[in-house]
Amino acid sequence: MNGQGGGVLPDLRFSGTLANNEWLNIVRGGSLKAYGTVGFSNELSPEDAEAIRAYVIFRGIQSQAESSNPKKP
């Protein structure tokens, strides 16, 4: 796993839900259960969900830096 989406599932690096409490509502509250993401409140504490959110934001920043500063071949 590298934190990138494949195609069928959304690429969370660029998800607007990272910017607000929607992330918690989805990941722990299960607000998108009907669409595939069940709530992980039994498995993830609020701190865990925040840690994952921070990681995905970090991956997004990393990817942006890579694409605006491509490595020379």
- Binding residues for ligand HEM, per CB under 6 A? 9-10, 12, 15-17, 23, 26-27, 32, 35-37, 52
Residue 15 parent element (H or E): none
- Name which of 24, 48, 50 is nearest 37 in CA terms: 24
CB of 53 to ligand HEM, least distance (A): 8
CB of 71 to ligand HEM, least distance (A): 28
CB of 72 to ligand HEM, least distance (A): 33
Minimum CB distance to ligand HEM smaller for 16 or for 73: 16
Provide DSSP, 25-55: HHHTT-TTGGGT----TTT--HHHHHHHHHH
Cβ pair 30, 41 in contact under 8 A: yes
Minimum CB distance to ligand HEM smaller for 11 or for 69: 11
